Amino acid sequence: MSVQTKELLIKSARKVFSEKGYHDAHISHIIEKAGVARGTFYLYFESKDEIFREVLKRAIDDLREIIKPIDTSFDIQQQVLSNICGVIYYALKNKDLTKIVLYRDRWNKNSRIIDEFIQDLIGMIENSLKKGISMGILKLHNTHTFALAIVGTMKEIIKEIIEKEQVDVSNLCQELVEFWLKGLIKEEGKL
């Protein structure tokens, strides 16, 4: 088992999946880009599905690294900003992976892993919101709804920026956070 070959295949697969989508990405495309023979592919992966899941897994692992739960004993807004910017920078640096993750095919059983990540993310956001509420910083609201709103907003924003050139990420992030917070906090100027 040559690790190089396996990595090469994963890299090629990532490219191909992001360019063509799962269904139009053929084993031929992947092995051609990797420059290996058809049989070699099946030495490293059981199936097309397996390599696809491997590609997804890596992206999700990366994202889990980037997003840190909020620690209320430090500057909260800063941590929120840091998480958001981190995700956006990752997306910009890994457009291939980002496309695969963001444009996941709901009917493709392999991409359940993405849903689980999103669910976790929503849970994390809800927890942060709840903390904010119990700390008296945020209004009493349906945290699930707002977690969904935050995730949905992020998805849409990221879709936009990975298709565009030249985005002022830090400014964008601040604007977003301000949008969210000014809607959520009890009284202006208090945070």
How far is 152 from 149, CA to CA, in rounded Å? 5
3 state SS for 30-41: HHHHHCCCHHHH
Residue 56 binds a copy of itself, judged by CB under 8 A: no
Residue 142 binds a copy of itself, judged by CB under 8 A: yes
Spatial neighbors of 184 by CB under 8 A, at least 6 apart, are 129, 132, 138, 139, 141, 146
* Residue 47's binding partner out of a copy of itself, DNA, none, with CB under 5 to 8 Å set by partner kind: DNA
In 3D space, the residue among 132, 140, 135 whose CA is nearest the CA of residue 177 turns out to be 132
Per-residue DSSP letter, 185:
B
* Residue 185's binding partner out of a copy of itself, DNA, none, with CB under 5 to 8 Å set by partner kind: a copy of itself
* Residue 154's binding partner out of DNA, a copy of itself, none, with CB under 5 to 8 Å set by partner kind: a copy of itself
Interface characters, 70-89, with a copy of itself (x: CB under 8 A): ------xx------------
Per-residue DSSP letter, 137:
S
Give min distance, CB of 45 to DNA, in A. Answer: 8
Residues that bind DNA (CB under 7 A): 1-2, 4-5, 24-28, 36-43, 46-49
Q: 12 or 143, CB closer to a copy of itself?
A: 143
What is the Cα 175 distance to its own chain's centre? Answer: 20
Residue 32 binds a copy of itself, judged by CB under 8 A: no
